[in-house]
Structure 1
Amino acid sequence: MSDTKDIVCIGSVLWDVIGRSASVMRQGSDVPGRITRLPGGVAMNIAMAAARFGMSPVLMTAIGQDAEGAELVAACQGLGMNVDHVYRSDDLPTDRYMAVEGANGLIAAIADAHSLEAAGDKILRPLLNGPLGSGESPFRGRIALDGNLTRQLLEIIATSAAFGMADLRVAPASPGKAERLRPFLTHSRAMLYVNLEEAGLLCQTTFDDAARAAAALVGRGAARVVVTDGGRSAAEAGAAGVITGTPPEVLVTRVTGAGDTFMAAHIAAEAEGAGREEALNRALTAAARYVSGDNAL
């Protein structure tokens, strides 16, 4: 894989079951809305968005041999994903994610990624000692990782020679899994994509804005970071300093997958040679369009 538009997406690929209502919701709310089931998971969301931005995503994940798994693999292929390196398990069911969203944002979500966790390093075989790379011949392209992988597996990726030449882009998947990213906090070839809460968890404090959070992460050893804060200003930081950008104001119609869209758009922009400010602004615009329900590029 030498094409500059190739990207390997490692992590959760599952069925997203999302309930959305136009009403403001609180604990115990029972309101009318719509329930959808779509291919999802952080790695899948990144791959789908990357494909929309002209990239060629390769999926590395665990999907069951059950009927849901067969349907999911077919859906991935239909969306243009390369599924040649997906680990298909005979004894693990296909994972699922369930979320409820109201007019006031995400109300609650449960990620059932137990099969991905149970599969362990089997999903990495194509890169550890396979057709995509090995310790003697490391992979040199872009890799997007998500925090649904176990801490042990993330540590393997952070320290293995097979990943030592890769351009690693890492997202925590959720605030509850942010601390799994610690092995990449001082990794010289990793870029972290976190929100304000996740940045605080990694730094064991809280922040008022993305710029301070991004600077603090770099101060703790991060090579490059992007910190987002919903509709407020986001920040990108590294050795060259901190820059900020503000997303366009839009009417929010959905939130699940917005961060993954942002990450994919940022990676795609850099793959096309965009500078720091342009890449950040393009990613913010793409995420804003996504949450508004507009997928136009």
Structure 2
Amino acid sequence: MMSRRIAVIGSNMVDLVTYVDRMPDAGETLSAPRFAMGPGGKGANQAVAAAKLGSDVLMVTCIGDDLFGRNTLSNFEGLGIDARHVRVVRGLSSGVAPIFVEPNGENRILIVKGANDALGPEDVEAAADDLRGCGLILLQLEVPLRTIYAAIAFARANRVPVLLNPAPATPELALDRIAGVSFFAPNQTELAILTGLPTRTPDEAEHAARGLLAHGIGAVIVTLGADGALLVEPDGTERIAPVAVRAVDTTGAGDAFIGAFAHHYVGGHDKLQALHHAARYAADAVTRPGTQSSFATASEFAEFCDRLANSELPP
């Protein structure tokens, strides 16, 4: 029987979110209507989404010896995330992510990795005893690639399923080093960068994703934004329909999707059921501003699903 525990080996950031009427041109200074600050980072976001839904989550990450790092650690502990393998790195800042959100909910993000760049294979080894007892390991690319490869090799040797979210995408990712991952989960843009193929339509995305299966990947999950998502496996492809909502802020939507998928998958749902739950969870998240603050608890998500079933959501 699969363990219901989820491990996240990855990044944490502090999101510095500026809401803008429009992005300034080069050399232009504009006033912006609002600013917010909160915990973020792809790894931490995915851990928080799963934890808010009720999963038992272990976090392996590095923070700086600064106020941001202390706040990140407090946030993990406050949400019940096992933070025993969160390492404080002296002399480095914590990671930060300046984010600019436009009125239509679209966002532009910069990341300063800081202490995230110090997360190494030794951190994977230090957490080995706890990682062996997990039902799924989540990975992203905001930490060094050598650490990603070490985590995948560890998981393969110990038969722990892995979901790799290749974000932010880099052509330096060696596909032969990620053989054996159970799930590879890019968005359309990331898929295009990694394969060099067009992914503008669902059919193009499916074609690009199918080429990845030859590298020993169990299944490719492609998030398509307003077009939903795809589950591409050797024996066929399933399309996950989009959930129509009025988007306020799309920041963190992909992380909400992955955290929710992980929660439902280790909870006993099959892949397709877990993806349908994930699509709904991500849709709910974009109806509120912020990143982790927009992620629903289990009871809040159940209420959203009830409203969705009863067609009570605004167009």
TM-score by length of 1: 0.87
Structure 2 contact 107–249 (Cα < 8 Å) conserved: no
Match of 1:228 among 223, 229, 232: 223
Q: Distance in 2 between matches of 1:94 and 1:163?
A: 31
Judged with a 3 Å threshold, the aligned counterparts in structure 2 of structure 1 residues 81 and 3 are, in CA distance, closer, same or farther, namely: farther
Q: Which residue of 2 aligns with 1:275?
A: 270
Kept after mapping to 2: 8 A contact 1:4/1:271: yes
Question: Which runs of 5 or more residues in structure 2 are unaligned?
Answer: 289-293, 302-315
Distance 1:125 1:108 in 2: 35
| Contact 2:186 2:221 (8 Å CA) reproduced | yes
CA separation of 1:24/1:265 partners in 2, compared to 1, >3 Å: closer, same or farther?
same
Paired residues of 1:127 and 1:139 also in contact (CA < 8 A):
no
Question: Are the aligned partners of 1:113 and 1:148 in contact in 2 as well (CA < 8 Å)?
Answer: yes
What is the count of residue pairs matched by the alignment?
Answer: 287
Q: CA deviation at 1:139?
A: 5.3
The one-letter amino acid paired with 2:5 is: D
Q: Distance in 1 between matches of 2:155 and 2:58?
A: 20
Question: Aligned letter for 1:180?
Answer: L
**1:207 pairs with 2:199:** yes
Aligned partner of 1:37 in structure 2 is 37
* Among candidates 127, 130, 133, match of residue 132 of structure 1: 130
Single out whichever of 187-196 and 254-263 deviates more from structure 2: 187-196
Q: Offset of 1:224 from its aligned partner?
A: 0.6
Aligned partner of 2:130: which letter?
Answer: L
1:146 paired to 2:140: yes
Q: Is the 8 A contact 1:86 1:123 kept in 2?
A: no
Instruction: Write out per-residue CA displacement over residues 206-234 of structure 1, whole angstroms, 9 at most, x where no aligned residue.
Output: 12323542443233323211101111131
Could you report, residue by residue, the CA deviation over 1:16-68 in whole angstroms, capped at 9, with x for unpaired residues?
111124x3546457243321111111111001100122211111000122233
- The one-letter code sitting in structure 1 at the alignment partner of 2:14 is W
Q: 1:263 — aligned with what?
A: 258
Q: Which residue of 1 aligns with 2:304?
A: none
8 A contact 2:5–2:266 mirrored in 1: no
The one-character-per-residue Cα deviations of 1:187-218 (angstroms, maximum 9, x if unpaired) are: 22331111111111121111232354244323
Q: Distance in 2 between matches of 1:145 and 1:168?
A: 7
How many angstroms does 1:272 deviate by? 2.5
Is 2:164–2:181's contact at 8 Å kept on the other side of the alignment?
A: no
Percent of aligned positions with the same letter in both sequences?
23
Q: Give the AA of the match of 1:155.
A: Y
In 2, are the aligned partners of 1:227 and 1:235 still within 8 Å (CA)? Answer: yes
Task: Quote the residue 1:9 is aligned against.
Answer: 8
Structure 2 equivalent of residue 240 of structure 1: 235
Q: Which has the higher contact order (CA 8 A, sep 6+)?
A: 2
The residue aligned with 1:111 is 111
Normalising to structure 2: TM-score of the pair? 0.82
Q: Would you say the 8 A contact 2:121–2:151 is kept in 1? A: no
Structure 1, unmatched stretches of 5+, are: none
Contact 1:139 1:163 survives alignment (8 Å): no
Change (3 A) 1:18 1:238: same
Q: What CA RMSD, in Å, does the superposition of the two structures yield over aligned residues?
A: 2.4
- What SS does structure 2 have at the residue aligned with 1:188? coil
- Give the structure 2 partner of residue 174 of structure 1: 168
